[in-house]
Amino acid sequence: MVTYVCLGLLFLFVVIKSANYYSRRKRAPSPEQLDILVRSILKSGQRERE
Amino acid sequence: MNKKLPVNLSPFIKTRYAYKKLKICRSCNHFTVLGDKQCMICGKKALISIDRKAASMLRRSMWKARLIAMLILLIGLVLSQSPMLLGLCAAGGIVLIAVLWIVQRKSAPAEQLMLLEKLFHKEANKLAAGLTADRDAAIAVFQSGNKPLTYEMLREVGALVQTDQLRLEQILLLQSFVLRKDMDLMLKPLLLDHFNPDLADYIGELSKIRRDLIKEDAFRYVLMYEGQILQMEHGESILIGVAGAAIRMKRYITLYPYLIIRYAHKLPKERFLRLYRMVQSSPHRNWEQLADEVERIYNEKYKWDEDFQTSHNPNN
């Protein structure tokens, strides 16, 4: 019985993780967006410094 | 008069995305674009590229999920009451872990970008402070008298931090060097949104040694501040150089014909010959005013010049 529960748990874990990975794949930023993000962080950092 | 320094500049290593220039210290999480291995804050040889950092974070997070899956499988195996259940649990578990592994491998590039985004958001202050420290380090090097190294450091910082002050500092340093054709120079990242005589001078120098760097942004800059450039001591020669650079491509001739018309009569012979040949070889293009001006200058100055005779077509 415990074995079935563990197998079920493992199945659920893999399904949830996979779904998570798929949804994150769609939401992942592009390298261009990361470039923009870094520049905007640095720009606001510069403004604060000034 | 300031004497220009003959210098050797190391080539600028371009990355496809500017953020890839970033390095981070594994020990103190200090961000920098300078240095190879040693962190300038903690002094440890722990600098790694931002991609390597993201890859190691990704490995850790993926192994965490795999270990949880393996732990569940192990509990199932230990507590199985018969060999059949043991076999079933082992087979099912291995298949599920393999599926998880495959999904993780497919998601790795996107996950890495997500982790980087998270890291940049989380460490935004450290990121800004790191690049500020890099600029300060460059200024300290300048004060110690090493101008070429200062320029190289500012150039690295400038790949990410684009402020007028940083651009100006780079332009001023470049203007203190003897510029050569073989140097790794740049113009587009240094263009300002206001008139600056040092920048105009720099453009003028580039028009002599690296015409290929003068592109549309630079032409627009020169056209916008043509009046101010003309008031400079060597302003006209800068504009003649830039007009000469516009003759490099037919596209620029089409885009900036009036700039060329205004300075065509003062172009060096070699540039005018190129312009003349381009105009002659493209009668179908809508360059009437330019063609008239070129013809007028040709008749006035080069009609009897041998170099022009091979290209002259009286029907055009």
User: Please, are residues B18 and B160 in contact by the beta-carbon 8 Å criterion?
Assistant: yes
- The Cα B64–Cα B68 span in angstroms is 6
Q: Is B183 within 8 Å of chain A by CB?
A: no
The helix/strand/coil state of B51 is helix
Q: How far is CA B168 from CA B5, B139, B165, B197, in A?
A: 18, 13, 5, 11
- Mean pLDDT of the region B78-92: 89
Confidence of residue A2 (pLDDT cuts 50, 70, 90): confident
B161 vs A: CB within 8 A = yes
Question: Residue B306: what pLDDT?
Answer: 80
Instruction: Report the C-alpha gap between B90 and B307 in whole angstroms.
Output: 86
Separation of alpha carbons B90 and B145, rounded Å:
69
Predicted local confidence at residue A11, as pLDDT: 95
Binary contact (A45, B132; C-beta < 8 A): yes
What's the rounded Cα separation, in Å, for the pair B282 and B309? 17
Under a CB-based contact definition with an 8 Å cutoff, are residues A14 and B102 in contact?
A: no
pTM of structure: 0.83
Compute how many other C-beta atoms are within 10 angstroms of the C-beta atom of residue B308.
18
> Which amino acid appears at position B247 of this protein?
I
> Which residues of B, range 229-248, sit inside 8 Å of A by Cβ?
none
* The pLDDT value given to residue B212: 94
Inter-chain CB proximity B120 and A28 less than 8 Å? no
Whether A31 and chain B come into contact, CB under 8 Å, resolves to yes
With contacts defined as CB-CB under 8 Å, which chain A residues touch B18?
A: 35, 38-39
The b-or-e profile of B35-58 (16+ CB within 10 A means b, else e) is: beeebbbeeeebbeebbebbeebb
pLDDT per residue over B188-208, tens digit each? 999 999 999 999 999 999 999
Mean pLDDT of chain B: 91
pLDDT surpasses 80 at B103: yes
Segment B262-306, tens digit of pLDDT: 999 999 999 999 999 999 888 777 788 889 999 999 999 888 888
Q: Over 70: is that where the pLDDT of B73 sits?
A: yes
Domain ranges of chain B: 1-61+110-181, 186-316
Has residue B144 got a pLDDT over 70?
yes
Please give, rounded to a whole number of angstroms, the shortest distance from the CA of A20 to a CA of chain B.
10
What pLDDT, in 10s, does the model give residues B146-169?
999 999 999 999 999 988 999 999
